[in-house]
């Protein structure tokens, strides 16, 4: 496969993986928690490196998974002991992220990671960092990592679909009928954590939030069915990735930046033009009500 094709495939995998998980964040009104986790996993990655002395995917996923869960757990603890939930997120996320930055700068010589890279990602280098097993070049390791995370997410969502749905819609009834709402919450947060890490190298901590939230928020405006929302969101992720790549080629700009911008552009267009929940349709509906009354 060509260099460009690998980048588009990587970007599309980021779009699909983030887009699907992101839908549940939107429905559970947890966009800010995802933002927090996407930053604190930096600490997880650095710790995983310091413990394992390796930058292999599996250690990163475990490290990030643990820190992601820790973030969700600390926010939950502060929240339930009286701290306002947005303040709780702010405190936990900045503290853990800052700790990650300190470790990163202290061991800068040893870790092949810098803050800039972690924040912005560098999708351009993805195709050169390949996975080789037994002398066989299997393609970029990021693609393998993203593919595995996507598969894990899909399996988890398939297995726990109805539990995730009911605990997102009506947590009170869910726990009354014995569904472990907290387990489902942490399951989703784990999915967000590993998704973030897998996407980290390509788009970085800041833009991964865009890929997590924007496609889901857009899909929410376009459909009234949960399954359809997941599909649309994934599709928007892919369009943003491929569109972003070509836009970056044409204008010679950052690939990850233009991917996130395309996603933002799709959202803006949907927000104005969506037939069901868009600004235009609301204005037209209001006009017709006024017209009927007069």
Partner 1 sequence: MNPVNVSNVTVAYDRKPVLQEITFDMPEGKLIGVVGPNGAGKSTLIKAILGLIPTASGNVEIYGKSYKSQRKLVGYVPQRGSVDWDFPTNALDVVLMGRYGHIGWFRRPGKKDTAIALQALDKVGMKEYANRQISQLSGGQQQRVFLARALAQDATVYFMDEPFVGVDAATEKAIISLLNELKAQGKTVLVVHHDLQTVKEYFDWTLLLNKRKIALGPTEEVFTIDNLQKTYGGRLSFLDTQVDASHVVQS
Q: Which residues bind partner 1 (CB under 8 A)?
A: 27, 29, 82, 159, 161-163, 165-166, 168-170, 172-179, 220, 223-226, 228-229
Can you list the alpha helix ranges (DSSP code H) found in the chain?
A: 3-27, 31-52, 57-80, 85-106, 115-120, 141-159, 161-169, 171-176, 181-222, 226-251, 255-273, 279-293
Q: Least CB distance from residue 123 to partner 1, whole Å?
A: 31
Q: Least CB distance from residue 236 to partner 1, whole Å?
A: 15
Q: Least CB distance from residue 173 to partner 1, whole Å?
A: 6
Quote the CA–CA distance of 215 and 208 in Å, as a whole number.
Answer: 11
Q: Which of 52, 51, 88, 46 is nearest to 67 (CA)?
A: 46
Quote the CA–CA distance of 97 and 211 in Å, as a whole number.
Answer: 20
Q: Least CB distance from residue 158 to partner 1, whole Å?
A: 9
Give whichever of 117 and 165 is closer to partner 1, judged by the CB atom.
165
Give whichever of 49 and 220 is closer to partner 1, judged by the CB atom.
220
Q: Least CB distance from residue 228 to partner 1, whole Å?
A: 8
**Residue 45 to residues 58, 80, 89, 145, 253, Cα–Cα distance (Å):** 11, 28, 20, 14, 28
Give whichever of 227 and 280 is closer to partner 1, judged by the CB atom.
227
Look up tokens 């803006």; give the residue.
268
Give whichever of 131 and 235 is closer to partner 1, judged by the CB atom.
235
């Amino acid at each position: 496969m060509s260099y460009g094709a690998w980048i588009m495939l990587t970007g599309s995998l980021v779009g699909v993986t983030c887009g699907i998980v992101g839908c549940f964040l939107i429905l559970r009104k947890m966009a800010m928690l995802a933002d927090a986790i996407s930053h604190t996993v930096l600490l997880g990655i650095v710790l995983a490196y310091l413990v394992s002395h390796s930058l292999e995917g599996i250690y990163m996923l475990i490290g990030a998974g643990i820190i992601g869960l820790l973030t969700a757990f600390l926010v939950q603890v502060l929240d339930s002991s009286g701290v306002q939930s947005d303040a709780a997120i702010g405190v936990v996320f900045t503290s853990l992220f800052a700790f990650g930055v300190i470790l990163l700068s202290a061991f800068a010589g040893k870790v092949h990671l810098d803050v800039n890279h972690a924040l912005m990602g560098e999708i351009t280098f993805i195709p050169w960092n390949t996975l080789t097993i037994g002398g066989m070049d299997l393609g970029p390791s990021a693609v393998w990592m993203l593919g595995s995370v996507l598969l894990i997410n899909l399996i988890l969502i398939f297995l726990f679909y109805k539990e995730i749905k009911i605990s997102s819609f009506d947590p009170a009834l869910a726990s009354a009928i014995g569904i472990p709402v907290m387990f489902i919450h942490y399951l989703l947060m784990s999915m967000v954590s590993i998704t973030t890490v897998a996407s980290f190298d390509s788009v970085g901590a800041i833009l991964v939030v865009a890929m997590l939230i924007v496609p889901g928020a857009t899909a929410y405006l376009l459909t009234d069915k949960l399954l359809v929302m997941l599909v649309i969101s994934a599709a928007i992720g892919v369009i943003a990735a491929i569109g972003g790549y070509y836009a970056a080629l044409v204008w010679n700009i950052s690939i990850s930046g233009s991917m996130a911008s395309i996603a933002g552009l799709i959202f803006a267009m949907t927000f104005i033009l969506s037939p069901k929940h868009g600004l235009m349709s609301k204005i037209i509906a209001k006009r017709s009500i006024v017209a009927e009354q007069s």
